[in-house]
Structure 1
Amino acid sequence: MQAPGFWHQPPGLRAALLSPLAALYAAATARRLRTGPRDTVGVPVICVGNLNAGGTGKTPTVIALAECLKARDRNPHVVSTGYGGALDGPVQVSETGHHAGQTGDEPLLLAAFLPTWVAKDRRAGARAAVNAGADLILLDDGFQNPTLAHDLSLIVVDAAHGFGNGKVIPAGPLREPVATGFARADLLLSIGPEEAQTGFADTWGQAVTLPHLTARLVPLPTGLPLTGLPVLAFAGIGHPEKFFATLRAMGADLVRVEALSDHQPLTETLMTRLQKEAKRLGAQLVTTEKDAVRLPKGFRQAVMTVPVRLEFDNAAALDAALDRVLGIQV
């Protein structure tokens, strides 16, 4: 499902008409978050969440945080609900033993980097991770969940899209009002190139009431030069156009693009059609790292994957926050 276009436009008539429903949604979220004391599991919990519905860059943020924590000699585990997966859990994800239909695509991708657990009940997932040796929990997308206490809460936002029209679902893209979310968070991370960061600061800078980090996604070398390569690119992520822009910046000749819904299943029928079109156009099929884990086995050799990694512009505030959570004296 793609977000309605009016969510990312100045508030108009449609947003106004939906405001009563948005108020009910915001009230329901606030009521859920007032359910009482949250549980602890004996190790620090770092929540990587967002205010927007849909993709903002949480997965590369979790990977980057995991690397920071490993450099501090910690053994972090990820706990995720496994959006779109069939497993209730808690179960540790096996990169080779599970498929995306069971775990969801993001946990399957994360499992290649660090131990990852799928659990519809986040408390049960965190306890299972601790029992398996985790000394820190990275909670993937749990900011609006009231069950676990957070030692550090990080809100991730796409700098180019910001918080849309600033309205709550269904009038806008937000799960809760910006000010309400900021009041519970410790850090804000906006992801995007310099131009997008400038636009975000111009639009939302005055609303930011917590330390603000900036970062960008940088593609990793694929071993196959993209410059001048005819490409049929497809992506089922929150904002597919970001991936297509990355490929153009790498010099690829995008002869066609296919923007899919976030987490859309890559069926045999869909992939057969895309493969035939690529052959007709003399183009290489290219997709994202997250989409690649959903590919049917028979198509994995035919599709080129372009992975990206998060690079912080200035990680001082993040380093300080991590040191505080870990009890490291500077």
Structure 2
Amino acid sequence: MRAPDFWSEPGALARVLAPFGAAVDLAGGLRRALARPVACGLPVVCVGNLVAGGAGKTPVARALARRLAANGTPVRFLTRGYGGRAAGPLRVDPARHGALEVGDEALLLAADAPTWLARDRAAGARAIARDAPGDGPGQGPGVIVMDDGFQNPSIEKDLALLVIDGAYGLGNEKVMPAGPLRETLARGLARADAVVILGEDRKDIARRMGVGLPILEADLVPSPDAPDLAGRKVLAFAGIGRPEKFFATLENAGVELAETRSFPDHHPYRPAEIEALVERARALGALPVTTEKDRVRLPADLAKHVEVLPVEVAWRDPKALDRLLARLPSHG
């Protein structure tokens, strides 16, 4: 799904749809008020957002997991598996599962740490607590990092982070279908422990977050093992929530964007589409480049013709992140 243009700025259509958005927000609030969250016995870090689409939750979840692991804390991911058919709970096996079954995000997470997929998040958390063997003598499963699920009330969360795209902000600040928000800003901030602003804060988000709520600033940058594309002419394409974020990362890396193509989030690429993109890149004298998330959805025999630029989150103040993670209960 691509976000409608009117979600970006206030307008007449958003005002017409605002009552429907108010109803959606009220229903979500009632659902959370009536819910009885379960404690799974492990600390849970939830990485979510307020805006439908790609704020950068998965890169932030991966970065948090790396930070925890570097500090000696075993991590297990829990994800819903958007774009896949499987309902779970199941442990994701990249050697056995494909994007059509478990979704692209689950495969990315599983490359970093043991990952469970479950549409029923509480059942998934219980499966992790029951089945995760630990990473060594005397170690338990450690911490669950939940990719998305901020609005899901079924699990008790020990630390809840809201990720906001600094360039896009909150759009027109209306709740769906009038705008991109899953709930109002006030409702979301009331349950958040911190806000992560990804990229330059062009919408002055930090100033509006209120006193006392930690603000973590970070950037998406090419991973250390990424190919050096500086000065290269590329045809960039992406089927993620906000492809513009990927294109901006390429430009910041010194890439010459000959052409860009955007596809819907979780788009299942057909061979003919990739063949056409490769041929177009050849005609432009450019290199076809996409994201890690898109790579797992490419037809296997055509993926070799496409370069991938892996990205990661770079924290502007890593010590601020460590102070936040220190709030977690014992996770040994």
Q: Give the TM-score normalised by the residue count of structure 1.
A: 0.93
Task: Note if 1:40 corresponds to 2:42.
Answer: no
TM-fit CA distance, 1:224: 4.3
Task: Note if 1:78 corresponds to 2:85.
Answer: no
Determine the structure 2 residue equivalent to 1:186.
Answer: 193
Q: Which residue identity is paired with 2:72? A: D
SS in 2 for 1:325: coil
TM-fit CA distance, 1:253: 2.4
TM-fit CA distance, 1:42: 0.7
Mapped partners of 2:254, 2:278: distance in 1: 22
Task: Note if 1:152 corresponds to 2:168.
Answer: no
Q: Give the TM-score normalised by the residue count of structure 2.
A: 0.93
Residues 1:96 and 1:158: Cα distance change in structure 2 (over 3 Å): same
Contact 1:222-1:305 at 8 Å conserved across structures: no
Contact 1:35-1:146 at 8 Å conserved across structures: no
Contact 1:22-1:168 at 8 Å conserved across structures: yes
Q: Which residue identity is paired with 1:293? A: V
Determine the structure 2 residue equivalent to 1:6.
Answer: 6
2:210 to 200, 208, 211: 208
Contact 1:8-1:172 at 8 Å conserved across structures: yes
Determine the structure 1 residue equivalent to 2:67.
Answer: 68
Determine the structure 2 residue equivalent to 1:57.
Answer: 56
Mapped partners of 1:214, 1:208: distance in 2: 16
Displaced runs of 4 or more, over 6 A:
none
Mapped partners of 2:326, 2:240: distance in 1: 32
Mapped partners of 1:327, 1:231: distance in 2: 47
2:252 to 226, 249, 269: 249
Contact 1:191-1:217 at 8 Å conserved across structures: yes
Task: Note if 1:325 corresponds to 2:328.
Answer: yes
Mapped partners of 1:223, 1:316: distance in 2: 25
Map 1:1-330 → 2, pairs under 5 A: 1-9=1-9, 11-131=10-130, 132-133=132-133, 134-192=141-199, 196-197=200-201, 199-201=202-204, 205-209=207-211, 210-221=213-224, 224-327=227-330
Mapped partners of 2:217, 2:155: distance in 1: 27
Superposed CA deviations along residues 100-124 of structure 1, whole A, max 9, x for unmatched, are 0111111111111011111111111
Moved more, 242-251 or 88-97: 242-251
Q: Which residue identity is paired with 1:16? A: R
The number of equivalent residue pairs is 322
Mapped partners of 2:257, 2:67: distance in 1: 35
Contact 1:57-1:156 at 8 Å conserved across structures: yes
Contact 2:226-2:309 at 8 Å conserved across structures: no
Contact 1:217-1:310 at 8 Å conserved across structures: yes
Mapped partners of 1:135, 1:221: distance in 2: 27
Contact 2:226-2:311 at 8 Å conserved across structures: no
* Gapped regions of structure 2 (runs ≥ 5): 134-140
SS in 2 for 1:108: helix
Superposed CA deviations along residues 219-242 of structure 1, whole A, max 9, x for unmatched, are 125564323322111011111112
SS in 2 for 1:297: coil
RMSD over aligned CA atoms reads 1.6
Identical-residue share of aligned pairs (%):
46
Superposed CA deviations along residues 47-100 of structure 1, whole A, max 9, x for unmatched, are 111111011011111111111111222111111110110001111111221110
Contact 1:222-1:306 at 8 Å conserved across structures: no
SS in 1 for 2:326: helix
Residues 1:225 and 1:234: Cα distance change in structure 2 (over 3 Å): same
Superposed CA deviations along residues 163-187 of structure 1, whole A, max 9, x for unmatched, are 1111101111100000110001100
Residues 1:40 and 1:152: Cα distance change in structure 2 (over 3 Å): same
Residues 1:85 and 1:38: Cα distance change in structure 2 (over 3 Å): same
